[in-house]
Structure 1
Amino acid sequence: MFEIRIICDPTDADAITKGLAGTFTTSPPLRKPTRSGKRLRLYITADHHTGDDAYADAPPIVHELADLTDLISCYTDAGLLPPSSVEREFLLRRAALLDRMAIEEAAVSAPVAVEMAVETAEAAALTLSLFDRVKGWAGEHGPEDRLWARTSHRGYVRQEYAAWLQSTRP
């Protein structure tokens, strides 16, 4: 993890933030005007954990979405609550799917769409993290690890998804 400070033109701030978010796991930028007020200082915490490693063996997004729908519909159609293991798998795969979509949005979309995609992915990551805390789940870096508070819970999702993929592959 590292911190980045950028001084830039206010009109460039969104493009810079988008570019960094497409390369690193980043925190939302803290924006402060310079003393002159003509430029903008951006403070961003970044981590090398990109989705490339975690999602290298992941199925295409459309297949993941179909699998997720099938996973939960068999329980909801029958009016049943899924067992805890299935609920966790659903939360993990949903958070990973939203994270992957946010990564793709960062590469092709306008800053407003990227911000919304990142917020949605972060909310899903936090939901998984809270579920894992309650259930006592502990991966390499558990859901309560200070690393996630400094960077993003999306990194936790990537860690857990990569481990899940490895455990489900022959």
Structure 2
Amino acid sequence: MFEIRVICDPDDTDRVIDTLGSVFTTWSAHRETTPDGSRTRVHLSVEHRPAPQEWPAPEQAYATAPSIISEIGWVARTAAERPFGTEMSREFWLRKAALLDRIALGDNVAPPVSDATTDADRAARRLMDADDAAVICDPRHYVRQQYAHWATESTS
């Protein structure tokens, strides 16, 4: 972490902070007026952003996945067999999120006839919460990455 200090026109303050926020991860911004009152001093605590990750394409992530119908059955059975009040496993949340992602991908090809995209996003965020994932990305990309990794590990 390091600090950036900027002195700028008060009208430019928000734009300067937003621009720095697009390049760095910002932690805090402190603003104060210069003694003569004509400028604004901005102190930002920032950190370099990690290099962008390569996310697997859906075709790559789901290359060995069972059929959608088979996965619907697995998710439904697993949910039904869970004793009341117990937490679902990470595998459940991952496979459910991947299933909904795959269904939503079909909505991208044809006109949407369901809430699949909304449901896929919600399930992906649930998986990220379960994993306590400290990444900033499209949640469905995260699901694809995690599913591809899980599929590789589970067949090894």
Partners of 1:48 and 1:130 lie apart in 2 by 19
TM-score scaled by structure 2? Answer: 0.59
Partners of 1:106 and 1:164 lie apart in 2 by 25
Q: 1:91 aligns with which of 90, 93, 109?
A: 93
Instruction: State the partner residue of 1:153.
Output: 139
Tell me if 1:105 matches 2:107. yes
Instruction: State the partner residue of 1:70.
Output: 77
Instruction: State the partner residue of 1:129.
Output: 128
In structure 2, relative to structure 1, the CA distance for the partners of 1:80 and 1:145 (3 Å cut) is closer
Instruction: State the partner residue of 2:153.
Output: 167
Tell me the SS of whatever aligns to 1:57: coil
Q: Which runs of 5+ in 2 are unaligned?
A: 1-53
| Structure with the higher fraction of residues in strand conformation | 2
Deviation of 1:108 (Å):
1.7
Higher relative contact order (CA 8 A, sep 6+): 1
Please give the per-residue CA displacement for 1:32-58, whole angstroms capped at 9, x wherever unaligned. xxxxxxxxxxxxxxx864211100110
Instruction: State the partner residue of 1:81.
Output: 86
Q: Structure 1 segments of 4 or more deviating over 4 A?
A: none
Q: RMSD of aligned C-alpha atoms? A: 2.0
| Structure with the higher fraction of residues in helix conformation | 1
Instruction: Give % identity.
Output: 32
Partners of 1:48 and 1:73 lie apart in 2 by 32
Partners of 2:127 and 2:55 lie apart in 1 by 21
TM-score scaled by structure 1? Answer: 0.54
| Contact preservation (8 Å) 2:55, 2:145 | no
Instruction: State the partner residue of 1:119.
Output: 118
Partners of 2:101 and 2:122 lie apart in 1 by 10
In structure 2, relative to structure 1, the CA distance for the partners of 1:100 and 1:107 (3 Å cut) is same
Partners of 1:48 and 1:125 lie apart in 2 by 14
Partners of 2:130 and 2:85 lie apart in 1 by 19
Please give the per-residue CA displacement for 1:65-116, whole angstroms capped at 9, x wherever unaligned. 111122232223xx3614xxx5211111110000000001111224xx47x3
Partners of 1:125 and 1:91 lie apart in 2 by 8
**Count of aligned pairs between the two proteins:** 103
